[in-house]
């Protein structure tokens, strides 16, 4: 085989390597003083990395492509004559941006001359994945933190909320303390929702979906939202009267609407207008949204529009990222919009955002259609059955909550035995088991928790009716009736009556 043939084979192999390798590969001429000079050739990946054609690259000296510090380090390692050597090099793009390249360098011969060969991996995508992983780890940390405090904190709030409700029940409507106690009651429930936001964000929170009217949720939050917004912001609600029903966790919808309105308020520091609209819509063609592919079909549209400062284009791309915020330290966590995003995703819903600097921002949310609004029945509905004469064993370790639960149940005719922990409940049941019709137990308690207590009592009394209550829903038994704290007495009494009447229906979960 002739030398020319061998050289042609070598050239063909090199051409294939430069064209198809996934590595950044640069061949740099070395001067007689062993100094790197002009680029002799480059892989296709290197041209993509540097965002320049080969012709332009080959006109340049390597010193023009490297950041000054990287160029000095390269010369230093060449002087040592230790091969191969690894370097983290920073290359310069035309606009001056520095891009990192994890490189391995060695010398060789190319076209009859001494050259430096630089192999490298474009680590930018890897860095992006690392950053995303870091964000996921942050979310997990938030979830663990929220889970750690949710039970104890919401137990306290449930006690405050319950005692406030009991006090309101005992006071006449015209009592001067009623307004303040109502505020305490409302604030306790709102604070509990804040904890749920963090827990839901970590995906450890089970969401209980119900048939929900968005208009009703908006109306029930109107006064509270007006307080949040302040006097400088004009608040307009424009809802469609025959709005369809959706399937969602109502507390999650509360959080979505509240977070969006607070965000809008912060975008209007000098005042403005906030408009909430609802409408039934039909989407004819599939379209890609930041929260996924929205398929054709019927949706309920919720729009929240402000006349605020607007969002710059570079920020708009990142608004749903967790912990990303443009607010000053102490004025925002960067969780608000990402919580909204996460809750919508959990419910199979979608969100889009349009904004212009100085012209405000509109968030459009789309909830899948579940059912048409039922026509109002003119026949008077039967009054809910809340009373009973059965005997209940109440197992709870929070003193304030015990008072609320015991008084609420006894007020409606139930006989109540108390146990301050699971171990005490076993003792009470041993002597009273023939009387007890239902056990209501907290899930998390010292020594014997609610789930363990259920298993132990069922061995003594198979088929015993049970209701678990807790402020944190990451540890539940499938098919066991459950109430999340804090809850109102009516919700408790309805659930108790349904369990005792064998009409309890397990809620759906998202």
Is residue 507 scored above 80 in pLDDT? Answer: no
Question: Are both 327 and 415 inside the same structural domain?
Answer: no
Is residue 135, in this structure, part of any structural domain at all?
A: no
CB 276: neighbour CB atoms within 10 A? 23
Question: Are both 227 and 362 inside the same structural domain?
Answer: yes
CATH assignment of the domain containing 346: 3.30.565.10
Given this model, what pLDDT does residue 299 score? 96
How far is residue 506 from each of residues 112, 311, 463, measured CA to CA in Å?
A: 80, 43, 17
Question: Quick one: residue 316, left, alpha or beta (phi over 0 = left, psi -120 to 50 = alpha)?
Answer: alpha
Is residue 327 scored above 60 in pLDDT? Answer: no
**Burial environment of residue 73 by CB neighbours within 10 A (0 to 12, 13 to 18, 19 or more):** middle
Question: Are both 221 and 364 inside the same structural domain?
Answer: yes
In the chain, what are the helix, strand and coil shares in percent, each to the nearest 5? 40, 25, 30
Average pLDDT over residues 273-279: 95
Report how many domains make up the chain: 3
Is residue 289 scored above 90 in pLDDT? Answer: no
Task: Give CA–CA dist 256/355, Å, rounded.
Answer: 19
Question: Are both 400 and 482 inside the same structural domain?
Answer: yes
Question: Are both 409 and 359 inside the same structural domain?
Answer: no
Average pLDDT over residues 196-201: 57
Which SS3 state, helix, strand or coil, does residue 402 take? helix
Is residue 3 scored above 70 in pLDDT? Answer: no
Return the higher-pLDDT residue of 122 and 464: 464
Is residue 366 scored above 50 in pLDDT? Answer: yes
Average pLDDT over residues 38-56: 85
CATH assignment of the domain containing 112: 3.30.450.20
- List, as one string, the DSSP characters of 165-179: HHHHHHS-TT-TTHH
Within 8 A by CB and 6+ apart from 152, the residues are 471
On whether the CB atoms of residues 346 and 510 are closer than 8 A, the answer is yes
On whether the CB atoms of residues 192 and 485 are closer than 8 A, the answer is yes
Residue finishing a domain among 341, 372, 403: 372
Confidence of residue 403 (pLDDT cuts 50, 70, 90): confident
Question: Are both 346 and 291 inside the same structural domain?
Answer: yes
Q: 93-122 burial string, b = 16+ CB within 10 Å, else e?
A: eeeeeebbbebebebeebeeeebbbbbbbb
Within 8 A by CB and 6+ apart from 190, the residues are 224
Q: Strand pairing of 438-442 and 391-395?
A: parallel
> In which element (H, E) is residue 295 found?
none
Structure tokens at 38: 């002009």
Instruction: State pLDDT tens for residues 441-452.
Output: 988 888 888 889
Question: Are both 111 and 250 inside the same structural domain?
Answer: no
Confidence of residue 200 (pLDDT cuts 50, 70, 90): low
pTM of the model: 0.51
Task: Give CA–CA dist 505/64, Å, rounded.
Answer: 72
| Cα dihedral 428, 432, 433, 436 sign | negative
Is residue 487, in this structure, part of any structural domain at all?
A: yes
Given this model, what pLDDT does residue 331 score? 38
Q: How many alpha carbons lie under 13 Å from residue 224 in its C-beta half-sphere?
A: 19
**Alpha helices for 277-432 (secondary structure H):** 313-316, 336-346, 399-411, 422-432
> In which element (H, E) is residue 438 found?
strand 438-442
Is residue 417, in this structure, part of any structural domain at all?
A: yes
Task: Give CA–CA dist 258/165, Å, rounded.
Answer: 23
Average pLDDT over residues 42-58: 84
Task: Give CA–CA dist 482/466, Å, rounded.
Answer: 9
> Which domain does 45 fall in, by range?
3-122
CATH assignment of the domain containing 505: 3.40.50.2300
Given this model, what pLDDT does residue 136 score? 55
Q: If you count them, how many residues does the chain have?
A: 510
Question: Are both 248 and 116 inside the same structural domain?
Answer: no
Given this model, what pLDDT does residue 333 score? 39
CA-angle at 122, arms to 119 and 128, nearest 5°: 155
- List, as one string, the DSSP characters of 318-333: TTTSTT---SPTTS--
Task: Give CA–CA dist 156/206, Å, rounded.
Answer: 21
Is residue 173, in this structure, part of any structural domain at all?
A: no
> In which element (H, E) is residue 263 found?
helix 250-266
Given this model, what pLDDT does residue 311 score? 86
The greatest distance separating any two alpha carbons of the chain, rounded to the nearest whole angstrom, comes to 110
Question: Are both 325 and 420 inside the same structural domain?
Answer: no
Average pLDDT over residues 408-435: 92
Question: What average pLDDT does the structure give for the chain?
Answer: 81
On whether the CB atoms of residues 322 and 340 are closer than 8 A, the answer is no
Return the higher-pLDDT residue of 215 and 176: 215
DSSP assignment letter at 371: B
Residue finishing a domain among 91, 122, 153: 122
Question: Are both 398 and 491 inside the same structural domain?
Answer: yes
Given this model, what pLDDT does residue 206 score? 59
Within 8 A by CB and 6+ apart from 255, the residues are 193, 196, 197, 200, 339, 340, 343
Question: Are both 358 and 402 inside the same structural domain?
Answer: no
Question: Are both 345 and 449 inside the same structural domain?
Answer: no
Q: What is the CA radius of gyration of the chain?
A: 33
């Amino acid at each position: 085989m002739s030398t020319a043939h061998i050289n042609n084979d070598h050239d063909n192999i090199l051409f294939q390597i430069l064209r198809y390798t996934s590595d950044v590969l640069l061949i740099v001429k070395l001067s007689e003083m062993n100094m790197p000079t002009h680029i002799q050739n480059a892989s296709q990946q290197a041209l993509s990395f540097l965002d320049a054609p080969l012709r332009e690259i080959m006109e340049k000296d390597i010193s023009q492509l490297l950041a000054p510090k990287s160029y000095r380090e390269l010369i230093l390692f060449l002087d040592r004559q230790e091969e191969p050597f690894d370097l983290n090099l920073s290359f310069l793009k035309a606009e001056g941006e520095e891009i990192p390249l994890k490189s391995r360098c060695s010398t060789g011969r190319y076209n009859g001359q001494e050259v430096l060969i630089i192999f490298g991996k474009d680590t930018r995508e890897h860095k992006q994945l690392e950053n995303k992983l870091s964000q996921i780890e942050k979310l997990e940390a938030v979830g663990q933190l929220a889970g750690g405090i949710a039970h104890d904190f919401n137990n306290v709030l449930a006690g405050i909320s319950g005692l406030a409700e009991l006090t309101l029940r005992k006071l006449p409507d015209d009592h001067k303390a009623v307004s303040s106690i109502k505020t305490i009651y409302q604030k306790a429930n709102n604070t509990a929702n804040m904890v749920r936001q963090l827990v839901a964000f970590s995906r450890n929170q089970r969401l209980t979906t119900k048939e929900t009217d968005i208009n009703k949720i908006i109306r029930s939050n109107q006064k509270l939202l007006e307080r949040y917004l302040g006097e400088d912001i004009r608040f307009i609600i424009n809802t469609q009267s025959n709005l369809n029903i959706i399937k969602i966790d109502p507390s999650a919808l509360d959080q979505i609407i509240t977070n969006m309105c607070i965000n809008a308020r912060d975008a209007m520091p000098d005042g403005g207008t906030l408009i909430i609209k609802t409408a039934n819509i039909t989407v004819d063609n599939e379209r890609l949204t930041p929260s996924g592919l929205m398929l054709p079909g019927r949706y309920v549209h919720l729009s929240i529009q402000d006349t605020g400062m607007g969002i710059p284009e570079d920020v708009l791309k990142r608004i749903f990222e967790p912990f990303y915020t443009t607010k000053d330290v102490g004025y925002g966590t960067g969780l608000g919009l990402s919580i909204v995003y996460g809750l919508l995703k959990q419910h199979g819903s979608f969100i889009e955002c349009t904004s212009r600097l100085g012209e405000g921002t509109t968030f459009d949310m789309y909830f899948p259609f579940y059912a048409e609004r039922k026509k109002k029945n003119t026949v008077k509905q039967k009054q809910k059955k809340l009373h009973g004469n059965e005997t209940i064993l109440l197992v709870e370790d929070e003193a304030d909550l015990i008072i609320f639960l015991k008084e609420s149940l006894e007020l409606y005719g139930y006989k109540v035995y108390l146990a301050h922990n699971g171990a005490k409940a076993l003792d009470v049941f041993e002597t009273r088991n023939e009387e007890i019709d239902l056990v209501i137990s907290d899930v998390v308690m010292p020594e014997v928790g609610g789930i363990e207590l259920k298993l132990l009592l069922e061995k003594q009394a198979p088929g015993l009716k049970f209701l678990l209550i807790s402020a944190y829903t990451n540890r539940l038994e499938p098919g066991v009736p459950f109430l999340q704290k804090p809850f109102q007495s009516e919700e408790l009494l309805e659930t108790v009556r349904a369990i005792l009447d064998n009409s309890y229906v397990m809620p759906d979960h998202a």
